Amino acid sequence: MNHLLSLLIFTPLLGAAITLFLPNRVIKPAALAFSLIPLALCYPLFAGFNAALPGMQFTEVHAWLPALNIVYSLGIDGIALPLIGLTALLTPLCLLASWHITKNPQGFFAAFLALEAFVIGVFSAQDFILFYLFWEAMLIPMFLLIGLWGGENRVYAALKFFLYTFVGSVLMLVAGLWLFATTGSFALEVWANTTLPLPAQQLLFLAFFAAFAVKVPMWPFHTWLPDAHVQAPTAGSVILAGVLLKMGAYGFLRFCLPMFPEGAAWFAPTIFALSAIAIVYAALVAYVQTDIKKMIAYSSVSHMGFVTLAIFAGTVTGLHGGLLVMVNHGIVSAGLFLAVGVIYERLHTRNLAHFGALARIMPAYAFVTMLLTLAAVALPGTNSFVGEFLALAGAFPSAPIYTAIATTGVVFGALYMLHLYRGMFYGSPSETVLHHTADLKDLTLREWATFLPLLVFIPLLGVMPSLAQNLWNQPVESLSAEYLPILQSHSTPVPAAPQTAPITLEGQGVTASTTEVISNTVPVSPTLNTAH
């Protein structure tokens, strides 16, 4: 299908426009139906994708503003494909989780469908202006979801989210215009094939980094996220943690590494430090939270630190790990926020002290949350284990000290997640639970429907991570081959080893020095390992 990506973008956008004019009784099923169309379109998208081919696939190129050399250009590779699939999966689950919405349902469901369209557009755009339009347009429905359907401090949280993201995006726009003036094109492929001097790469990297680091969010640009999560409705938190945070990491992979490899390598030590701080700091802050939604929000900051650490390490193993953490965090964090929404609908509180002994009252809910908790702590056999293991293993050759620090975040992550689970499901029931026992019904069929697709992927990707890895293997190897040697060249040179007496490889009649044998079998750098 030549226009498959356009259908993925404009079908939910059309659904958003139609939903605004539907009567209340059909809004929810109609919006759900429109959200299922992109999910169905993902089948031919995945089936027709050839992971062995380099470059972009399903490309669409149409003249748009020829006077400014702006083109409607779409295309995806193995990095964008699973993120589009994740967006298409989570959107109908979010709509199912929002069935209780009664305040202006037309606006709520229309905003959600529009958000899906713009996010898919971000992952598909191959022209910078098109990318920037989708990137900025995404702010509008998310701002409305938080500001109109959020909690008590929703206006403050929505404005903070908007301002943080907008300021970083303005710097990205300025950098994009400079690149257009230099190359004469807005095509991302042209930019990636343009060699720039180091000072220009450093400045451009900082400009794009500002936009993407806020979105991830990296420490110390993360302060908007806990407020946004706490105030957002359940579905808003699900899509925010599941997909929107991944847009920042996607930007690093699409722009910063391939376009400014020298600049990225120059700033890599700083990013390693920020990532390690984010992993440990956010985990410790999560442990002391009393609001279970804020606890999970800080856990997102910690987990995304593994992503940035692994990406800028540049090894094939690290890039695979970073991408796996992105996808798996999208699945697990979405499930955890859905779990918070379930209990909030029944008790109307998120204070950990107001729970207790829920395992006896809601055993199915306790089982589902247990699976999500085990995945969040990266238990072997779950999807998160493979991603975090590869991220740390791949980052160690490039940043051994920071990786060692980051590894402690795995332990802290287990502490706060098990603390959360114990406080909710075991111990003595709180006064709130005792007074509302009649309201604590176990999972309904609709709620099971929101959890089951996510629960399937937890063991599936835990046992068969190659299902995702095979999709992005080709672009990962290309990125590493270009970026890693540059990163290695910034490391301290290793003194040449002294010459030694020749040795003979027995039975083969080959003579070589021990230095030659070693250099052809193991890496010579103690700090940067090119073996992946």
pLDDT in tens, 113-167: 999 999 999 999 999 999 999 999 999 999 999 988 888 888 888 888 888 888 8
Tokens read off for 455: 């629960």
Q: List the single range of 121-130, 364-373, 482-491 with lowest mean pLDDT.
A: 482-491
Per domain, the residue ranges of the chain are 4-489, 499-532
Helix axes 316-347, 292-313, angle to 10 degrees: 170
Cα separation of 92 and 33, whole Å? 8
Cα separation of 217 and 327, whole Å? 16
pLDDT at 390 over 90: yes
Q: Let me know if 201 is exposed, middle or buried by CB neighbors in 10 A (0-12, 13-18, 19+).
A: buried
Specify the pLDDT at position 225.
Answer: 86
Cα separation of 413 and 387, whole Å? 15
76 - beta bridge partners? 57
Q: How confident is the model at residue 1 (pLDDT cuts 50, 70, 90)?
A: low
Cα separation of 529 and 521, whole Å? 12
The reply to whether the predicted model has a pTM over 0.85 is yes
Specify the pLDDT at position 518.
Answer: 33
